Amino acid sequence: MSNESFSKAGAPAVNFRRGPGAGFVAVPEKAQNQTATVKRFMEYLLSEKILLAAMLLCVLLAAVASVAAPAFQSRAVDVIVSGEYSKLYGYLLMMLLMFLVLSAASYLQGFVGALLSKRIITGIRTGLFDRIMHLPVGYVDSHSRGDLISRMTNDADNIANTISMSLGTLFSAVITLTATVSMMLWFSVPLTVCSCVTIVFTLILTKIMTKYMRRYFVRRQELLGELNGRVEETVTNYRTVAAYGLQSEALAAFEDTSDRLKKTGIIAEIIGSMMGPVMNTLNNITFLIVAVCGGYLAMHGSITVGVISAFIIYSKQMSRPVNELAQIYSQIQTALAGAERIFGVMDETSEDSAGEDLPEDVKGVIEFRNVNFSYVPGSPVISDFSLRIGAGRKIALVGATGSGKTTVINLLLRFYEADSGEITVDGRNIRDISLKSLRDSIGIVLQDTVLFSGSVKDNLAYALTSEPDESEIERAARLSNTDVIIEQLPHGLDTMLEDAGARLSAGQRQLFAICRAFLSYPRILILDEATSSVDTRTEKHIQEAMVSLMKDRTSLIIAHRLSTIMDADEIIVMEQGRIVERGRHEELLSAGGRYSELYRTQYAGLGT
Q: What is the pLDDT of residues 67-83, one digit of tens each?
A: 777 777 777 877 787 77
Provide the pLDDT for residue 318. 73
Does position 607 have pLDDT exceeding 80, yes or no? no
Burial class of residue 301 in the structure, from the number of CB atoms within 10 Å of its CB (0-12 exposed, 13-18 middle, 19+ buried): exposed
Give the burial string for 254-288 (b: 16+ CB within 10 Å, else e). eeebbeebeebbebbeebbeebeebbeebbeebbe
Q: Could you give the CA distance from residue 106 to residue 58 in angstroms, rounded to a whole number?
A: 7
DSSP annotation string for 244-281: TT-HHHHHHHHHHHHHHHHHHHHHHHHHHHHHHHHHHH
Of 448, 460, 430, the closest CA to residue 355 belongs to 430
Does position 364 have pLDDT exceeding 80, yes or no? yes
pLDDT band at 289 (very low <50, low <70, confident <90, very high): confident
User: Residues 459, 516: contact at Cβ < 8 Å?
Assistant: yes
The CATH code of domain 396-403+441-603 reads: 3.40.50.300
Dump pLDDT digits (tens) for 522-566. Answer: 888 888 876 666 666 666 666 666 666 677 788 888 877 777 788
CATH topology agreement for domains 34-346 and 396-403+441-603:
no
Least confident segment among 225-239, 487-501, 521-535, 567-581: 521-535
Provide the pLDDT for residue 544. 66
Domain ranges in the chain? 34-346, 396-403+441-603
Q: Could you give the CA distance from residue 38 to residue 51 in angstroms, rounded to a whole number?
A: 19
**SS3 at position 394:** strand
Ranked by mean pLDDT, the top range of 34-43, 133-142, 570-579 is 570-579
Q: Could you give the CA distance from residue 286 to residue 198 in angstroms, rounded to a whole number?
A: 6
The CATH code of domain 34-346 reads: 1.20.1560.10
- CA distances 384 to 6, 405, 517, 574, Å, are 20, 14, 31, 12
For residues 430-454, average pLDDT: 84
- CA distances 174 to 60, 321, 352, 408, Å, are 10, 7, 45, 60
User: Residues 66, 178: contact at Cβ < 8 Å?
Assistant: no
Q: Provide the 8-state DSSP code for 48.
A: T
Mean pLDDT of the chain: 79
Q: Could you give the CA distance from residue 434 to residue 342 in angstroms, rounded to a whole number?
A: 28
Q: How many CB atoms lie within 10 A of CB 100?
A: 11
Q: How many CB atoms lie within 10 A of CB 46?
A: 9
Does position 398 have pLDDT exceeding 60, yes or no? yes
Dump pLDDT digits (tens) for 236-248. Answer: 788 788 887 888 8
Polymer length in residues for the chain = 608
Provide the pLDDT for residue 6. 34
User: Residues 429, 438: contact at Cβ < 8 Å?
Assistant: no
Which H/E stretch holds residue 454? strand 454-455
Dump pLDDT digits (tens) for 13-56. Answer: 333 333 333 333 333 333 456 788 888 888 888 888 898 889 88
Q: Provide the 8-state DSSP code for 235.
A: H
366-376 vs 420-425, strand pairing mode: antiparallel
- At 403, give phi and psi (nearest 5°): -80, -10
Burial class of residue 148 in the structure, from the number of CB atoms within 10 Å of its CB (0-12 exposed, 13-18 middle, 19+ buried): buried
Does position 354 have pLDDT exceeding 60, yes or no? yes
Of 410, 432, 412, the closest CA to residue 423 belongs to 412
Does position 263 have pLDDT exceeding 80, yes or no? yes
Half-sphere exposure of 533 (CA within 13 A, CB side): 18
Give all strands of the β-sheet with 442-445 in edge-to-edge order: 442-445, 524-528, 554-558, 394-398, 570-575, 578-583
Does the pTM surpass 0.75? The reply is: no
